Amino acid sequence: MEYFEVKAKDLLGRIGRLYTSHGVVETPAIAPVVNPVKQVIEPKEIFEMGYQLIMTNAYIIKKNYGELAKELSVHGLLGVERPIMTDSGAYQILEYGKVEVGPEEILKYQEEIGSDIGVILDIPTRYEASFEEAKLSVLETLRRAREALKLRGRKDFLLVGPVQGGKHLELVRYAAKELAKMPFDIYAIGSPTPLMEEYRFGELVRIIIEAKLSLPVNKPVHLFGAGHPMMLSLAVALGADLFDSASYALYARDGRYMTPTGTYRLSELDELPCSCPICSKLDAKELKEVPEEERYRALALHNLYVLASEVKLIKEAIREGRLWELVEVRANAHPSLKDGVKQLIKYRHVIEEYDPVMPSKLRGIFFLSTFSPYRPEVIRYRSRLRRRYSPPKGVKVLLLIPEVAEKPFHRSKEVAKLLSNAVNSLLRKVHVCVYSYPFGVVPLELDDVYPLSQYEATLPPTFKYHVLKALRNYLKAFKKVYEAVVIYGDSSTWGEKFYRRLISLSKSLGLKVKALIVTDPYSDSSLRELRKVLHSILNP
């Protein structure tokens, strides 16, 4: 039986089912990190909140419980018979420089205590590491990865192979490609915590996607240390399936209150902007006044509820094909998240290759910001229009008309009026295309194909640039089809400058051009003028 299956996809994100020896984990999933010695929130309570996976540290268990943990198992030790992932002590290497255990010893120990998912003892790449230092960590991690696969005993023990390399993308690609040759069950992206702590999301995006594109597509990818809700949608969009973090507890200890769009100091809050079970029972003043340990626990629970809610929101966005929109919304939470989206856009053509043509649930899409024209639906449509589409046979004139509010365009009163009054008997020789944001050129015969009519858009400052770019590509692709281009313009929306550029573009491609720019394109007088223009071209 396959231990990982994908049920829905959007961008590089997916909803999957990860089968472990103690149950199924639906991804994307975040595994709250539990301290095996002192638990802020008991594992049983975490699972009751809806989490399906927790993570703990096998190195700490070994130091504190030794052989006893083998007798009890990690599940008995933590009091739950649910999926548990164990780390090997690599985080302690990152923090303290070394651990008092060898890679073979800790791998065997994770198997013996019954971990569902275990991580090899890799060598994390420090963010400040030079290329040569990073290279050494990559090579040693790869050596340990090969050895770990030879040593694995339990067939139901899912093993994680981490990709190292840090900020050195060449090393990240190399490490991922080498690990991809090894049959790990899960792959992970190591050492990203410093980037997330410093909000260097642009760099984080490059590391995640460079690793992801070199790893097997049929295996889940884990992102270590990702624990703030505002960046989870971006990480999922890049292909991360699993996360772990102790942020819920660390933030709570420091008096920090999570929200989907940022973090507040509890001491500075007058209101609790949440309706989770904690915030529904207490107001900000009451929460500040409870005893310290009780307040710590309450904040930790609140943070867990917020993280769980964000993961659910991400899953629904994937099913509806709206993950890009969620990423855009969350990007407004912090300038560094916008930097992350800008880096994501650089990989838009790769993302489009993996993005499904149709979402699991067919819903209209929203174009919200200057990032929206780079979403896969637009990239795919413009590409396929050039490569797969042919204008109707026999047409001689390309008539470009401005968009109208009603969609599909051909069903609108305005376009129906234009067709009956201005084109009518000329229809076989005149090819009508709408120029609109964000798709650019929409042949009227295609305008009810998803998602050309199933969208809502606001016009950003750059909307004319995107339309002109799309028009240029269309005219270049089909300039031999048409004898002339007629540009029918709406000066009130598009402006004279736009039409001057479009006319100049058409002429530069050797096309005969006529333009009729009016303030009311669908008035009777304007349509009569348009009919005269078309007749003059077709009957010189």
Q: What is the pLDDT of residue 307?
A: 97
DSSP character for 221? E
Domain contains 399? yes
Mean pLDDT value across residues 280-300: 96
Opening angle at CA 196, ends 192 and 199, nearest 5: 140
Pairwise CA distance, residues 284 & 294, whole Å: 14
Q: What is the pLDDT of residue 254?
A: 95
Asked if residue 94 has pLDDT above 80, the reply is: no
| Residue 214 shares a structural domain with residue 110 | yes
Pairwise CA distance, residues 280 & 479, whole Å: 64
What pLDDT, in 10s, does the model give residues 97-113? Answer: 778 889 999 999 999 99
Give pTM, 2 decimals: 0.92
Please report, for the domain that includes residue 495, its CATH number. Answer: 3.40.50.10630
Mean pLDDT value across residues 452-468: 92
Q: What is the pLDDT of residue 45?
A: 97
| Residue 318 shares a structural domain with residue 395 | no
Asked if residue 1 has pLDDT above 60, the reply is: no
What pLDDT, in 10s, does the model give residues 256-266? Answer: 999 999 999 99
DSSP of 224-251, one letter per residue? Answer: TT---HHHHHHHHHTT--EEEE-HHHHH
| Residue 411 shares a structural domain with residue 332 | no
Q: What is the pLDDT of residue 227?
A: 86
Q: Which of 353, 10, 336, 350 is nearest to 204 (CA)?
A: 336
| Residue 98 shares a structural domain with residue 24 | yes
Contact 325, 366 (CB under 8 A): yes
Copy the structure tokens of residue 510.
């050797």
| Residue 299 shares a structural domain with residue 391 | no
Angle, nearest 10°, between helix axes 463-478 and 491-508?
A: 30
| Residue 148 shares a structural domain with residue 246 | yes
The three state secondary structure string of 343-380 is: HHHHCHHHHHHHCCCCCCCCCCEEECCCCHHHCHHHHH
Opening angle at CA 381, ends 201 and 235, nearest 5: 20
Asked if residue 523 has pLDDT above 60, the reply is: yes
Q: What is the pLDDT of residue 390?
A: 94
| Residue 269 shares a structural domain with residue 402 | no
Asked if residue 131 has pLDDT above 70, the reply is: yes
Provide the 3-class DSSP secondary structure of residue 323. Answer: helix
Contact 330, 234 (CB under 8 A): yes
Please report, for the domain that includes residue 116, its CATH number. Answer: 3.20.20.105
| Residue 87 shares a structural domain with residue 232 | yes
Q: What is the pLDDT of residue 478?
A: 95
* Band of residue 2 on the pLDDT scale cut at 50, 70, 90: confident
Pairwise CA distance, residues 473 & 512, whole Å: 17
Asked if residue 425 has pLDDT above 60, the reply is: yes
Domain contains 463? yes
Domain contains 251? yes
Amino acid at 134: A
What pLDDT, in 10s, does the model give residues 136-148? Answer: 999 999 999 999 9
Domain contains 367? no
What total of structural domains would you count in the chain?
Answer: 2
What pLDDT, in 10s, does the model give residues 218-230? Answer: 999 999 988 899 9
Domain contains 381? yes
Domain contains 370? no
| Residue 191 shares a structural domain with residue 278 | yes
Asked if residue 186 has pLDDT above 60, the reply is: yes
Copy the structure tokens of residue 478.
């089909």
Phi, psi of 38 (to 5 degrees): -135, 110
- Using the 3D structure, point to which of 354, 386, 416 is the last residue of a domain: 354
Q: What is the pLDDT of residue 161?
A: 97
Strand-pair category, 54-57 with 29-32: unpaired
Pairwise CA distance, residues 116 & 159, whole Å: 9
Opening angle at CA 464, ends 462 and 466, nearest 5: 75
Pairwise CA distance, residues 347 & 230, whole Å: 21
Amino acid at 149: L
Provide the 3-class DSSP secondary structure of residue 459. Answer: coil
Q: Is 377 left (phi over 0), alpha (psi -120 to 50) or beta?
A: alpha
Q: Which of 10, 87, 355, 490 is catalytic?
A: 87
Residue tagged 């005893």 (tokens): 291
87 is catalytic: yes
Give the E-state strand segments of 164-209 in sequence order: 186-189
Q: What is the pLDDT of residue 44?
A: 97
Give the number of other Cβ atoms within 10 Å of residue 427's Cβ: 15
| Kind and range of the H or E run holding 260 | none
Q: What is the pLDDT of residue 506?
A: 93
Give 128's contacts (C-beta < 8 A, 6+ positions apart). none
- Using the 3D structure, point to which of 319, 354, 389 is the last residue of a domain: 354
Q: What is the pLDDT of residue 127?
A: 85
What pLDDT, in 10s, does the model give residues 312-336? Answer: 999 999 999 999 999 999 999 999 9
Residue span of the structural domain in which 266 resides: 4-354
Q: Which of 229, 382, 371, 384 is nearest to 313 (CA)?
A: 229
| Residue 343 shares a structural domain with residue 380 | no
Asked if residue 359 has pLDDT above 90, the reply is: no
- Using the 3D structure, point to which of 305, 323, 354 is the last residue of a domain: 354
Domain contains 359? no
Asked if residue 46 has pLDDT above 70, the reply is: yes
What pLDDT, in 10s, does the model give residues 381-414? Answer: 999 999 999 999 999 999 999 999 999 999 999 9
Contact 51, 30 (CB under 8 A): yes
Largest CA distance in the chain: 96
Q: What is the pLDDT of residue 426?
A: 78
Residue tagged 């089968």 (tokens): 19
* Band of residue 428 on the pLDDT scale cut at 50, 70, 90: confident
> What percent of the chain clears pLDDT 90, i.e. is strictly above it?
85
Domain contains 203? yes
Q: What is the pLDDT of residue 49?
A: 96
Residue tagged 């867990």 (tokens): 304
Burial 8-46 (b: 16+ CB within 10 A, else e): bbbbbbbbbebbbbbeebebbbbbbbbebeebbbebeeb
| Residue 255 shares a structural domain with residue 386 | no
The answer, yes or no, to whether the previous bond of 28 is cis (omega within 30 of 0) is: yes
| Residue 434 shares a structural domain with residue 291 | no
The answer, yes or no, to whether the previous bond of 451 is cis (omega within 30 of 0) is: yes
What is the chain's mean pLDDT, rounded?
A: 93
